[in-house]
């Protein structure tokens, strides 16, 4: 399926705040994980390959509990994010233990990325429409110009709020459907007045409209992004390799490439609701949300 995209799943994190390997935590009615639903949705949307970026220390458990479920339905590949997987001329500074960020995680899969691809977090539920939007973008004929064309699947903020506390979100600033910037707003929650309120980076309170579009880190890229990412990562290491806990993030790379005119980034608005598991108290909400989708017939049970 030469024209069908790949899905790169960033699954190397152990979920330190959650207290366990949340990528394997059962959430569905028959023990399905959030990641099971992500792969299921990707297959339905026409993705032909899934690449799990994991760590070697839990590779066998991950392959048997997650990857093996879908091996007969989609091409499955694994890549390992390693701290010492660095470009020529660079080495890990003494005392460095933290990985180099989401950009480095994508680069870990560079040898497996042989077609246009989307990128997701392993522990986030993005919804069927989000994968349809990404697949449609990745399989469409791009404009004939010199720019690369990327995409971000954007969610209406009302579909990403939590009933269990405030959240932080990146609010997309767009112009004619293209991403111009992301404004970070923290401590966002629905107040007793039913208004949505957050704190801007300058510390002031701000009201947020329900249809504002936010980024939940579902990206779509052509294969040419890997070369741009490699170049950016070299510059990042040149500037920050000795900065403890420094990380190279996907939005920073995209912003740099857009600002330099190398690429544009389309914002694809989805009708899906997003939910994720950050803390143990989030699990009941996710379990109930998935049950609701299953009960309404949007997913079979058991899933696979």
Mean pLDDT of 115-125: 94
pLDDT tens for each residue of 218-263: 999 999 999 999 999 999 999 999 998 899 999 999 999 999 999 9
The pLDDT value given to residue 17: 42
Residue 14 pLDDT > 60: no
Confidence of residue 175 (pLDDT cuts 50, 70, 90): very high
The pLDDT value given to residue 220: 97
The pLDDT value given to residue 279: 65
- Residue 44 corresponds to which tokens in the numbers above? 């339905």
The pLDDT value given to residue 195: 92
The pLDDT value given to residue 285: 85
Domains parsed from the chain with CATH numbers: 6-295 (3.90.550.10)
Residue 91 pLDDT > 90: yes
pLDDT tens for each residue of 40-56: 999 999 999 999 999 88
Mean pLDDT of 197-204: 90
Specify the pTM: 0.91
Are the C-beta atoms of 73 and 100 separated by less than 8 Å? no
Q: CA-CA-CA-CA torsion for 279, 299, 215, 210, nearest 10 degrees? A: -90
Q: How far apart are CA 218 and CA 216, in angstroms?
A: 6
Mean pLDDT of 90-94: 93
Cα–Cα separations (whole angstroms), residue 12 to 21, 23, 47, 54, 62: 10, 9, 21, 4, 10
What's the full length of the chain, in residues?
A: 304
What DSSP line would sit under 224-263, residue for residue? THHHHHHHHHHHHHHHHTTSTT----HHHHHHHHHHTTSE
Q: Say which residue the tokens 């112009």 belong to.
A: 175
Sequence-separated (6 or more) residues with CB below 8 Å from residue 203:
none
Q: How far apart are CA 138 and CA 76, in angstroms?
A: 19
The pLDDT value given to residue 19: 44
Q: How far apart are CA 263 and CA 248, in angstroms?
A: 18
Residue 284 pLDDT > 50: yes
């Amino acid at each position: 399926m030469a024209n069908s995209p790949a899905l790169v799943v960033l699954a190397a994190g152990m979920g330190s705040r959650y207290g366990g390997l949340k990528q394997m935590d059962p959430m569905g009615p028959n023990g399905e994980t959030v990641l099971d639903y992500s792969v299921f949705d990707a297959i339905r949307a026409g993705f032909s390959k899934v690449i799990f970026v994991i760590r070697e220390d839990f590779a066998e458990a991950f392959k048997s509990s997650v990857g093996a479920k879908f091996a007969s339905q989609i091409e499955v590949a694994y890549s390992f994010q390693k701290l010492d997987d660095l470009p020529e001329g660079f080495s890990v500074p003494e005392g460095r233990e933290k990985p180099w960020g989401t950009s480095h995680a994508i680069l870990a899969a560079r040898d497996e990325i042989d077609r246009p691809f989307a990128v997701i977090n392993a522990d986030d539920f993005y919804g069927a429409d989000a994968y349809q939007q990404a697949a449609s973008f990745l399989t469409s004929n791009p404009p004939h110009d010199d720019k690369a064309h990327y995409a971000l699947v954007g969610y209406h903020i009302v579909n990403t709020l939590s009933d269990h506390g405030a959240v932080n979100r990146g609010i997309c600033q767009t112009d004619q459907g293209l991403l111009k910037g992301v404004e970070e707003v923290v401590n966002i929650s629905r107040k007793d007045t039913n208004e949505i309120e957050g704190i801007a980076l300058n510390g002031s309170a701000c009201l947020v409209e329900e249809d504002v579009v936010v980024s939940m880190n579902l990206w779509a890229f052509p294969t040419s992004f890997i070369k741009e990412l490699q170049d950016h990562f070299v510059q990042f290491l040149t500037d920050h390799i000795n900065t403890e806990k420094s990380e190279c993030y996907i939005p920073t790379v995209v912003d740099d490439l857009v600002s330099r005119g190398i690429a544009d980034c389309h914002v694809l608005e989805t009708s899906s609701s997003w939910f994720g598991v950050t803390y143990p108290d989030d699990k009941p909400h996710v379990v109930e949300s998935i049950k609701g989708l299953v009960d309404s017939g949007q997913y079979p049970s058991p899933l696979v």
